[in-house]
Structure 1
Amino acid sequence: MSAPTEEHAPTDDRSASGSGRDRRTYALVGGAGLISTSLAAYEIVPASVTPLLRESLGIGSSAAGLVVSVMFGTAVVGSLPAGVVLDRTDSRRVMALAVLALFVAGVWGWLAGTAGAYWSVIASRALGGVAYVVVWNAGIDIVSRAVHADVQATAVGIFTASGPVGFAIGQGTGPLIAARFGWPAILPAFTAVALLGLLLFWPASRGLGEARGDAPSLREFLTVLRSPTVWLLGALGFLSYALYLFVNSWGSSYLTQELALSLATSGLVVALFPGVGLLSRVSSGLLSDRVFGGRRRPVVLGSFALAAPLLLGFTRLGSVALVVVALLLSGFAIQLTLGLSYTYVREVVEERVAATAVAFQTSVGLAGAFLAPIAGGAVVDAAGFEPAFLLAGGLAVVGALLAWRAPEPTR
């Protein structure tokens, strides 16, 4: 991956300049990735200590699921307006403001959790959801501008890999932090790291966040909402995020309640599910760009086709070893779509409304992330874990059928 350079560099000065641009690109992607990693850890970490959270606040499964999913709910509402703003303003500065808001949300949640104020915790997480969607959309937009078109899917895949890395860190370390400092400490534990990422990202991103020419017209904006392909890709994102958040939210509880693992061990085991996304999300771009010659559909189709049988048979696995294998394979499969869908949707619309298309994809996708922990908790309470995982497997089958019909981008 490299920043744009001149095709021929006959002098050492030009080569040195190209190397400098390469270093700047690596710093930009690394800084944006560090911000996103800390944000993702903050997002998912309550799921790793659900039993402690329920006992402390006196709430049920669905209410506990809302602590995780409320961030995605506010992101659903805020994503499309954020994309419109990013197409019209300096996304770099907006991203910096979002990082500061994330830090405030973490401290607020810690104070509210210590006081046992459930709805104040929810409000703090809602603020974090606004910060999340701005960082995510702006990061994808800026990283996409920084690299050559022929490696754009790979670069965006590397950035989106920050999500599963953060999820794995949150799932794995949440119980350890809670045991040492109390569960409310999990909320601000990761937000300060985002400030360090901003220090790396800010100088490297100079000149990359400005709005591109005139703002998109209302007619151009509406072309995004009227595109059947955009809606189809949004549906695939919805299903992928629903599956991803369902396993992340209730996998640990399944291991604790059904397989009698300790909370700390369950957290570490479930951390494998998002953690493998570091490989999966980077691989999605490489597979699409290199193996399939830029085609996107084969990767997305394979993602759902592999995930479906793994989820359908998950509760029938009799040993922890088989569960670990299933978590690794299903985590890899589901996140292939999560890594590629943002590049995919950018390529089916005009460049001037690319950020809006990404925001739409984020909004529809995160609707699945919002609903999955709550709906999953309701099914678990009403019928148990087996019907819940069977339902997840059925959604993966639907995803495979939709992916079969998805067209290849023409741009």
Structure 2
Amino acid sequence: MTSRPTTTHSDDFTSNEPQQKSQSTWRIVAGASLISTGLAAYEIVPASVTPLIRESLHIGPTIAGFLVGIMFGTAVIASLPVGAVLDRTDSRNVMALAVLTLIVAGTWGWIAGKQGDYRSVIASRALGGVAYVIVWNAGIDLVSQAATSETRATAVGIFTASGPIGFALGQGTGPLIAHQFGWPAIFVAFTGLTVIGLVVFWPASRGLEPSREDAPSVQEFGAVLRNRKVWSIGLLGFLGYSLYLFVNSWGASYLTSELGLSLAVSGLLVAVFPAIGVVSRISSGLLSDRVFGGRRQPIVLGSFAVSAPLVLFFTRFRSLPLLVALLLLTGFAVQLTLGLSFTYVREVVDSRVAATAVAFQTSVGLAGAFLAPIAGGVIVDLAGFDTAFLLAGLLAVCGIAVAWRAPEPGYS
């Protein structure tokens, strides 16, 4: 009679190990996404109460655009240096430092706003921009490390969806927070969410190893900057983020100034524009992989082809239900590019410099995010909302031309 082999505790542990790793991975994704959501809400929330801030600080629309744009400007400058640091240190520790930095920046902005010190508010937002770009680049790095090759695109897609969730949260709740506690409170309102995210993220990410040994050389770094494919995808990100931030920054002001809606109602209506990105950013990879057989170019081409006419003719419509539908469609179309671009750019370079390519994409894309609110303010001030939306629509037309020639990974 043959005896049954005895199952040891070691065997039990081994059989449970993949499940434990999977649970840990999704806790990392959840925690990092919560941190990023809080930062995204902090980033966009001044746009939801711009008229209140302008009245309180006695500033014009151009200067008011800096309240949103300065964070992106800081991120543009800091992204590549941050990427280099992340390649040479433990991204997990840097993520925790970024949360602490946001708490300092938010508290500083709240105090400065109560004192009516505009320059100090701007300085605090610049510090917040450093925290933002750290969390964005480190989050993509850590989520990519934690996930398997089969789940990496999904995990990164979920993490990038934290951007529109945070934007919707900031746009929708900003006027309510300002009404209840005064507008300076918007700068500290979302720091608690980042702390909760860190509490979820920190224990789950304990096993992740820093990637110092994989840091790219100076020559490899330079090769990324000379890569035409990288620049092509970066330009798509620049145009996409320009459209995204223009509508986010000036959509609520348009509805308030031109249609006579209250700030609270305008903020809630415009919140649908980033909110639809939760669906758009996650589905962009699925559409590319399942419908187009792994091709990326059709997605970005469709993104700009749909968004161009919607932005061009946005101010021609006055019906609120129709405007909401336009915001939903435009938000979905624009964010297809934003959701795919960070996966896209990794695929046109050597794997050793993939993190550097992502940092470059962040920097170039956020350059558009920095310039759009400020340029939008100048145009609104000089020529009005009709002209501003017309020029934004022409950016989308340029996006069609760039996307038409966009490279496919693995093709010359």
Normalising by structure 2, report the TM-score: 0.95
Letter in 2 for 1:195: V
Name which of structure 1's ranges 138-147 and 210-219 shifts more when overlaid on structure 2: 210-219
**How far does the alpha carbon of each residue in 1:107-140 deviate from its partner, in whole angstroms, 9 at most, with x for none?**
0000000000000000000000001001000101
- State which structure, 1 or 2, has the greater radius of gyration over its C-alpha atoms: 2
Counterpart in the other structure of 2:164 = 164
* 1:27-176 alignment runs, 5 A limit: 27-176=27-176
Distance in 2 separating the partners of 1:347 and 1:115: 48
Letter in 2 for 1:145: Q
In the TM superposition, what is the alpha-carbon distance from 1:225 to its structure 2 partner? 0.4
Query: Contact between 2:107 and 2:188, CA under 8 Å: does it hold in 1?
Result: yes
**How far does the alpha carbon of each residue in 1:221-253 deviate from its partner, in whole angstroms, 9 at most, with x for none?**
111101001111111000011000000000001
Letter in 1 for 2:277: G
Query: Contact between 1:151 and 1:289, CA under 8 Å: does it hold in 2?
Result: no
SS at match of 1:159: helix
Counterpart in the other structure of 1:372 = 372
* 1:229-308 alignment runs, 5 A limit: 229-308=229-308
Letter in 1 for 2:364: V
Counterpart in the other structure of 2:8 = none
Instruction: Label 1:38 to 1:217 Cα distance change in 2 as closer, same or farther (>3 A).
Output: same
| Seq. identity, % | 70
Distance in 1 separating the partners of 2:17 and 2:361: 36
Distance in 2 separating the partners of 1:141 and 1:284: 20
Counterpart in the other structure of 2:353 = 353
Instruction: Label 1:58 to 1:75 Cα distance change in 2 as closer, same or farther (>3 A).
Output: same
The Cα RMSD (Å) is 1.3
Query: Contact between 2:87 and 2:214, CA under 8 Å: does it hold in 1?
Result: no
Could you list the runs of 5+ residues in structure 1 that have no partner in the other structure? 1-10
Distance in 1 separating the partners of 2:146 and 2:303: 28
Letter in 1 for 2:171: Q
**How far does the alpha carbon of each residue in 1:177-203 deviate from its partner, in whole angstroms, 9 at most, with x for none?**
000100000001001210110111112
**How far does the alpha carbon of each residue in 1:147-180 deviate from its partner, in whole angstroms, 9 at most, with x for none?**
2324322221110000000000000000000001
Counterpart in the other structure of 1:3 = none
Query: Contact between 1:46 and 1:174, CA under 8 Å: does it hold in 2?
Result: yes
In the TM superposition, what is the alpha-carbon distance from 1:212 to its structure 2 partner? 4.8
In the TM superposition, what is the alpha-carbon distance from 1:207 to its structure 2 partner? 3.2
**How far does the alpha carbon of each residue in 1:253-284 deviate from its partner, in whole angstroms, 9 at most, with x for none?**
11011111111000000000001111111111
Distance in 1 separating the partners of 2:365 and 2:15: 42
Counterpart in the other structure of 2:195 = 195
In the TM superposition, what is the alpha-carbon distance from 1:204 to its structure 2 partner? 1.4
Instruction: Label 1:293 to 1:149 Cα distance change in 2 as closer, same or farther (>3 A).
Output: farther
**How far does the alpha carbon of each residue in 1:337-379 deviate from its partner, in whole angstroms, 9 at most, with x for none?**
1111001111111222211111110000000000000100111
Aligned length: 401
Query: Contact between 1:93 and 1:209, CA under 8 Å: does it hold in 2?
Result: no
Letter in 2 for 1:370: F
Instruction: Label 1:197 to 1:176 Cα distance change in 2 as closer, same or farther (>3 A).
Output: same
Instruction: Label 1:352 to 1:212 Cα distance change in 2 as closer, same or farther (>3 A).
Output: farther
Query: Contact between 1:153 and 1:289, CA under 8 Å: does it hold in 2?
Result: no
Distance in 2 separating the partners of 1:382 and 1:189: 33
Instruction: Label 1:78 to 1:155 Cα distance change in 2 as closer, same or farther (>3 A).
Output: same
Query: Contact between 1:239 and 1:395, CA under 8 Å: does it hold in 2?
Result: yes
Normalising by structure 1, report the TM-score: 0.95
Letter in 1 for 2:21: R
Distance in 1 separating the partners of 2:261 and 2:209: 47
Distance in 1 separating the partners of 2:179 and 2:15: 52
Query: Contact between 2:259 and 2:318, CA under 8 Å: does it hold in 1?
Result: no
Could you list the runs of 5+ residues in structure 2 that have no partner in the other structure? 1-10
